[in-house]
Structures are given as C-alpha cells and as structure tokens.
Structure 1
Amino acid sequence: MNAYLSVNARGRRILIDPVDRISQLPDNVLVMILKQMITEDAVRTSVLSKRWKSVWKQVPYLFFDMRYAFLRNMEPLPSHSNRVAKLITQVIKNHNGDLLSCIIQHYSHQCKDGELETWIQLLTLQKQTRALALSNIHCSYGGKGVNILRLSPNTFSHPRLTTLFLHRYELKTANAFKTCHNLKILKLENMFAEVNVFNTVIASCPSLKVLVLRLMWYNARACLKIHNNNLKLLHVASYYVHSIEVSAPLLDIFSMDYIFDGEYNIVIKSSRLFFTKNYGAIDAERVPILNYNISYNAREMENLGHHFLVGRDANYFWRLKSLAVAVDIMNTKELEMFKQVLVAWNGIMKRLDIFFKHNYVYTEEGESSIRGTQKKKWEKNLFPNAVFRVEAVWMFNFSGLDKKQFELASRFITQGTVMKKMMIKTSSVSATEKFYIEAAVTKLMELPKGNEELSIGYF
C-alpha cells in the first residue's frame, strides 16, 4: 500500500518502495555491508541519517590511501598531505571498539612531522589493532633521511598487535621493536638499514612464525642473522647479499630471491627442509625458489605459514619461479594444501621438485590410516581444470607401484600442466625399485600428452 509507480529512463513503469528497508537492518548486517567499502566511503554514510551516523565506527577494518584523497585546486603536496593526515587522525579517534586491521599508505611528510607515530599509538594502544600495515608512498633513498622511521622505543610491543607490515622506510635503530614478543607475522619490504639493525629487529621478535624480508643495506659484506625457535615461514630477498645465517628448527617454508654480489654464503639449519643444497642454482641459473615441507605444516592446527603463503594480501609469489615440495599425497589435508599452493602461484612455474613422503599405512583400496582415523585419500577430480603451468617437473622418491603417485603424474601429463619435461629419479634405489619405476615411466610415456613437446624420462 505504501508503494507507488514511477517511470524509469526507458519509459517503463516500475514499482518504488519508499520505505528505507536497509536502514532497518541490525547493526551487524550494516557493518558487513560497510566492510566491503573503502574507509572514506564508509565514513560518508554517516551523513545519510541519524541511523547511519555511527555505524561506520564499528567496522573492524580501516584502509587509508592518501594518493586518492581529494586534492584542492593548486594545493601543494605538503599542505595536501598534512590536511589529509589530520583527517585520518580524526577518523581513527572517532572509531569505536577494537580493530582487526588497519592499512595506511601515506607520504614521506608523515615520517618527519610525528603524525605517523600518532597513528601507531592510537591504533595500538587505544584501538588495540591486531594487524597493522604502513606504507610510505614516496621512496627516496640516498642518505637524505626523508624516509627514516622515527619512533619511540617499544612502539610495536603492544600485546594485541600480532601482524606488522612495513614498506619503504629507513631504520636507524631497532628501538621501536624492543621486546616485541607479541609479533607473530613481520613483513619488512623495501627497507633500508645497517645489517646489525636488521639483526636486532629480528632478535627482538622471538615469537615470530612468519618473517618476510626484502632488504637493502649499506654494508653488503656483513652477515644477516636469523635465529628463531618458532619460525615456520621465512622469505629473504636481499640486494647484494654476502652472507645469511639461518637457524630455525621449526622452519618448513623457506624461499629466497637474491641479487648476488659475486660469492655468497648461505647457511640454513633446519631439519625439516628438503632440497637445501645449492639454493638458487637450478640448471646453472640462479632463480627465486620456494622450499616447502607440507607434511610438517599440515600437522598443526593453526597452519599460519600456509595461510600466509596462499593468502592474497601477502603477495608471496610475486617473483618466485621454482617450488621444491615434500608431500604425502595419500593425506587429504596435505594434498589439498599442495593444490592450493599450485593454484595460488603467480604465472608459469619454471621448475617443480616433488619429494613423495610415505607416512601412511595401507588399509583398504583408496584409504589410509593416520593416527587411527580412516579417511578417503584420493579424489578423481583433483585437478579437473588445471590453470597453473610448470616448465619442468622432477619427482623424487617416486614409487613405481604407487597408483596414487602414478595418477598424479599422469594428470600432469594429460592435462598439459607440464610444458617441457618430466623427470623421475631412479638413481640411488635398489634394482627391484628401479625396475618398477622404469616400468611406470614407460606407461607414462604412452599417455596422450597435453603438450606435444613434453619429454618424459628418468635420472
């Protein structure tokens, strides 16, 4: 009865309901809607009505990018930057409750005028933000000091802060990271400092489980030291590195991306990693590589390293070209995690090394018993529409009698996943094992190929 007829742009008669039914929704539903919007648009909804005035203040995520803030006529950048910074400060202060995450992309002016530290203090101490990402839009290295991160001691040590991303800053000291037992995820990208400063930062965060470093430093001949008893995932990308020393007994995900300066020395102490020799030396070419022991990661309830690895926000696979993975394909969870990594990969993979682990005990066909629980371990449509591609696959510990391993290899061949070469290791095995492996390879060669130029053999 309250509805009325109107005419749209095409002259059609449409039914209009004048009742604002969206505003009648409960706060938690409205917050879910505003979560999909950028912070600036979410704040603007406060002028719609009294009902909407404070809804945006409950949104658990804030995102600010000063590049897209309104620029007044002929306004110089410093004035524009300071004006927008004040607005950001006001929005943070007006927000109600705790924050799950906050992202701020700002200009270098805020590194000097103290506004950046004000934001951090508000977000950590008052809003108890769990994940904080700070990015300096203008990066200008060369000793000018415009990007120095000037912060008080213990700035990042609030117990609720567990994730920290920093992008394009220069560190003179590690004071802001003093006693950071709270941090579990730390990403330092395009950061510039003395190596000893980086070493102190890492040592000040003993609870880290994920550490991503893309660093530049003055003294290229120094040693970057990463000693951590809780670390699960480590990525290091350093320019002109000379020496890296890693000691992490729980590390099962490691990747590297280097620009080498002549000789280099990399020492990795972690019993969980496979393929630890000749990092970056694949076919006489140094390429960015990821080493992942899925079996250890799959046993944990949290899987923090894996979730970071395949998460969209991490942008982990930006430059990586090769993957070396240890996996038990009879384990449903490991198999799914393996698939997620392949699907999340960025672009064509150069090389995939697979080390097949045998952690299962056979029961019935297609099943295995792990920790007393029987589960179906194989899905016929594991890769029904494979969207990832790899130039070459090398298989280690391949069993010629294992139907599941054979089926995985056959799917890679027939679906065109492998573009150039598939090699299966037969060296260092018994004569009987070699016989069955070579027989399996012969069968693989007879399969229809998704790529006609694919070659299949053993080494």
Structure 2
Amino acid sequence: MEKRMAQESDRISLLPGHILDEILWRLPIKEAGRTSVLSTKWRYRWRSLPHLWFDNRCTWSNGHGQTSQNLVKIIDRVLMLHSGPIQSFILAHTEFSNIRDIDHWMLHLSKVPVKGIYLCVCTLEKYKMPTFFFNCQHLIRLKLYGCSIKIPISFEGFKNLQSLYLQHVELSPYELEVLISRCPLLTHLVLKYLPGITRLNLEAARNLMELDVRGAFQDVFGVTNRLRSVTIDIIENRQASGNANSGNFHKFFRNVHNIQILKIENYSLKYLAQGIPWTLPHALVHLKHLSACVDFTSVKQIATVICLIKSSPQLKKIEFQAQDPKNQPTARTTVAEFWKLPCHSCCLEQVQVVSMRNIFGIEPELEFMKFLLTSSPNLQKMVIQPSAGIAEGKLLRELLQSRRVSAQAQIALYTHKRQNYKIPIYFFNCQDLTILKLCGCSVKMPPSFEGFKKLYTSYLHRVEVSPCGPEVLVCRCPPLKCLTLKDLKGITRVNLEAARKLESLDIGGAFLDVAFVVVNRLK
C-alpha cells in the first residue's frame, strides 16, 4: 500500500525517458543539475543530457569578472561529470569574458563525437579558434559569432557539416572559400557581416539549399540550382556603387531554377537592379514567397520587382517594405512616366496575398498598389501598414476608389494609433463588398446608407458602434450568411431577427441578450 502511494505521489518519475530528457532540456543547466535530489531515477539523469546550453540563465549577473568565473566553474563541472554523447554544445552568455577558458572546452569537444557547436563571443577581442577544433569531424551544425578563424594546412574539411553560420567572424576570403569547398554536404549557409569580404564564390557548394547573406558584399556568384531559400541583405557601399555590375540581376538568377522563397532586404534590390531588367534568363517556376525592401521612387527597382513577379507563375504571396523617400533622390516624375509605358501591363493571375509595410503614402507607392489591384484577378487580400504619422484616411480613400479586377479582394489597413480608426462616410459607397472585416475601428453609419447588397460575410471585433448599429447592418445586408460580433464596446443586446439567411453566427463579449429568428439555415 505504501509503495503504491509513493508511486502515485511521484508520477513524474514514471514518465518515459525521452520525456524526462525533454523536461531537463528546457531547464537552465544549473537547475537541471538540481533535479538529482528528486529521486534515484533523477539522480544521474542530467549527466547524460545530449544538449549542453550555457547562457545568461546559468548565472546571475554580479559583475563581469565574477559572472565569468562562475560560468567557467559550471561548464568545467558539467563536462567533467557528463556521460554519454554530446549532440550540441552552446555557449551564449552575453557577459562571459574569459575567452581563454574556451580552449580547453574545445579540446574536450574535439575528443568526443559532438554534432553541433555554437559559440557566441561578445567581447571586443575575437576568440581565435584553436587548431584542434578542426578535428571535430562529426560536426553537423556550426555557428560562430565574434570569432577568428585561421584554417590549418592539414584541414581536410568537415565531411558531415550541413549547416554553417558565421557572424562577425574574421577570416580571409581565401579561407572562407576553402571552408565552404571542404564541406561537401553543406545545405544551409548563413554569412553575416564578415569584415574584409566583398566577394562570395559558392561554386563549390553543390548541395546548398538555403542561403542567407548580409553585409558589404559587392558580388555573389556561383549559386547552384539546388537553392530553395535565399535571403540577401547587402549594405549600401557608396564607393563601390559606381562600379556595380549592370548584369547583377541576370547573373544571380541564372542558376536558381528551384528557388521557393526569396527575401531581398534593405539596399539589396539596388544591387540587383543595375540596368532595367525586363525579363529573366528563365522563369522561377517554383517561387511561392517574395519579400523585398523597395525604393518606390526608383524606376529600376520597380521594374525589377515587376519582372520577378511576372517571371514567377506559382508566386502566391508577396511582401514589400517601403524605404523612406526622404533618404532617396527625387525621381517621381520619371516614375510617373514609367507607369504610362505599355511594357509593364500584365496579368498576375497567381498572386493571392499582398503585404505592404512602412508605407509613406507618396504617389509612387499608391501607383504600385493600384497596379497590383488592377493586375491580380485572383487577389484575396492586400494588407497595408502605414509608417507612423501617415494619414491613413487619405491612403484608404485612394485605394477604395481605385479599380480592382478581383471581386473578393479585401483591403486591410493596420494603423499605429491606439484610438480606433474612424471609418469615413465614403466607405459606405463600396457597393460591391462581399466580405467585411473590421478590427479596432469606429463606425457611424450615415442616414443615407442603404446597405451592402452583396455582403455575405461580416466580422466586427473591438468596433465602436451605436447600440442599433449591428441591427441596422444586418437589416440592410440581406445576403448576410456569416456574422461575427466580438467585444463591441457598450453593446449588451443585439437583435438579429432580420438575418433571414444567416448560416454561421459567432458572438463573444458582454452580451446579455441576443434576439434572432431561428431558421433552418443556421448551422
């Protein structure tokens, strides 16, 4: 009986081993060691943890020197008592400064089949990777931050390495090329802000599938057709911009036949858009997601974006972030003339979702959004997030009055203001609306409002409206089938008797009474 009660009181120890490991993995390693007092089953469990993670949770901050000394003691003890394989060793304590102690940890790891190493060194002095580090032949994942690499002559490569991440790492262009070429299984490569490296040769990375490049690169070449995901964030180099290669666009996309995700950040589009590209060497038949930071006052960049969209028959989602026009040369007249040219006219049948962030409300941005609305027959949603301080009302009025070729296209406007956005009177002239979704808005229906005669779905969340507002909306929208009312401020009673065709009803909030006619359509 006592044994049974003891088992019931310690149910956690009866969990399968892999569940116990998962619990320990989610604890700071110092707390994981303390679980040894729970029971005999827990006593040595922490010593066989496959993932050793040393970050700011290991020690309390009480001065840089003391924090580093405490962390050294913890890591030394863990490695000394550890039994079993080490899947990954992670050092990411932002206040650690005793970088000389890393050497003997690397020596220990070079003698065991460790599969993942992540070193984040946040001191002014770069940590020099020791020669014996290159003996870690079982490495699959390597992530280095704030380190310095000098590849020994005897280095034959990491034959099992699949993921390589280097950020603020010092090494020569030749050593970077050697490192990449001697990792034949490399599929995931991230290179961020490598000082002194401006050219990137990827010809030897035959199996590369994911590429993330950020920094002062002037040339990226040798990409292979295995690439699935590419992120480019090139820092603008004004000294080198005059010597930029006018064939960057064609050269980069020459071999990326199978790319599925493309992210072009900050000034990278300026790098790619040297010369005005009207076509690609081949179609990007697998591209499904495009994200780009665009200067909408630049004809070259607009033409480049349109070229990418036209060349991607499977592209369903596109995201754009506008650059601040104050930081760009004024060329709006040239952009206005560009939209008059027939060469950009096209049908973007594949595009379904468009996101426009950091919009400043200038004419070139509006023209580009109007172009998408009039060229995308299957567009379902356009999400617009203006930059702080921009007049959303004018922006919304322009877009609501523009022509659309997609009957189901929704325009969602996200504002930075905490107060509710007041829906303007001219909004109620949108007689072709079939779907209406409002969140964080204030609605005052004008006396002349006769209803949305085609509306079949309405969603109101945190909307300020008069007590009779929902009833008026339902009464004057006869086709309404789906209705959602959530957290309507000040409304406790709602009458839905006029909703004769209602099939779906979702109500949430401080409602005390809901009156409606029960019809057999309601599901």
CA contact (8 A) 1:57 1:96 kept: yes
Q: Which residue of 2 aligns with 1:412?
A: 381
**Which of 189, 206, 214 is the aligned partner of 2:167?**
189
Give the distance between the partners of 2:129 and 2:182, measured in 1 at CA. 18
**Which of 192, 199, 209 is the aligned partner of 1:214?**
192
- Is 2:4 the partner of 1:28? no
- Is 2:217 the partner of 1:248? no
Distance 1:357 1:100, change over 3 A: farther
* SS state at 2:222 partner: strand
Aligned ranges for residues 87-236 of structure 1 at < 5 Å? 87-106=74-93, 109-111=97-99, 113=100, 115-123=101-109, 125-126=111-112, 128-138=113-123, 140=124, 146-152=125-131, 155=134, 157-159=136-138, 161-173=139-151, 178-218=156-196, 223-227=199-203, 228-236=205-213
Distance 1:276 1:190, change over 3 A: closer
**Which of 270, 283, 304 is the aligned partner of 1:281?**
270
Q: How many residues align?
A: 333
Distance 1:450 1:132, change over 3 A: same
* SS state at 1:260 partner: coil
Deviations 1:52-74 (A, max 9, x none): 211223433221015751467xx
Deviations 1:375-397 (A, max 9, x none): xxxxxxx98xx9x7656788999
Over the residues paired in the alignment, what is the CA RMSD in angstroms? Answer: 5.0
CA contact (8 A) 2:348 2:377 kept: no
CA contact (8 A) 1:157 1:179 kept: no
What one-letter code is carried by the residue in structure 1 that aligns with 2:208? L
What one-letter code is carried by the residue in structure 2 that aligns with 1:231? L
Distance 1:355 1:151, change over 3 A: farther
In structure 1, stretches of 5+ residues that fail to align are 3-15, 141-145, 286-292, 299-305, 310-316, 330-334, 359-381, 421-440, 455-459
Deviations 1:359-411 (A, max 9, x none): xxxxxxxxxxxxxxxxxxxxxxx98xx9x7656788999998xxxx744x1x2
Using CA pairs below 8 Å that are at least 6 residues apart, which structure has the higher relative contact order? 1
Q: Which residue of 1 aligns with 2:412?
A: 450
TM-score (norm 2): 0.51
TM-score (norm 1): 0.57
What one-letter code is carried by the residue in structure 1 that aligns with 2:171? A
In structure 2, stretches of 5+ residues that fail to align are 275-282, 295-304, 324-345, 360-364, 387-402, 414-422, 428-523
Distance 1:42 1:418, change over 3 A: same
* SS state at 2:180 partner: helix
Distance 1:18 1:398, change over 3 A: closer
Deviations 1:91-135 (A, max 9, x none): 134233223333212566543x2x324323434542x33332110
What one-letter code is carried by the residue in structure 1 that aligns with 2:20? L
Give the distance between the partners of 1:202 and 1:182, measured in 2 at CA. 12
CA contact (8 A) 1:174 1:200 kept: no
Distance 1:284 1:180, change over 3 A: closer
Give the distance between the partners of 2:272 and 2:407, measured in 1 at CA. 23
* SS state at 2:79 partner: helix
1:47 is displaced (CA, Å) by 2.8
Aligned ranges for residues 42-121 of structure 1 at < 5 Å? 42-65=32-55, 68-70=58-60, 77-78=64-65, 80-106=67-93, 109-111=97-99, 113=100, 115-121=101-107
Deviations 1:287-334 (A, max 9, x none): xxxxxx996599xxxxxxx9xx9xxxxxxx9xx7479678665xxxxx
Deviations 1:336-363 (A, max 9, x none): xx77xx8xx9xx8449xx99799xxxxx
Distance 1:123 1:242, change over 3 A: same
CA contact (8 A) 2:28 2:57 kept: no
Give the distance between the partners of 1:355 and 1:91, measured in 2 at CA. 62
Distance 1:244 1:44, change over 3 A: same
* SS state at 2:32 partner: helix
1:182 is displaced (CA, Å) by 1.4
Give the distance between the partners of 2:235 and 2:77, measured in 1 at CA. 43
1:81 is displaced (CA, Å) by 2.0
CA contact (8 A) 1:108 1:147 kept: no
Distance 1:192 1:33, change over 3 A: same
CA contact (8 A) 1:180 1:204 kept: yes
CA contact (8 A) 1:174 1:198 kept: no
* SS state at 2:77 partner: helix
Deviations 1:194-221 (A, max 9, x none): 3333223222223211111012324x6x
Give the distance between the partners of 1:101 and 1:355, measured in 2 at CA. 50
* SS state at 1:198 partner: helix
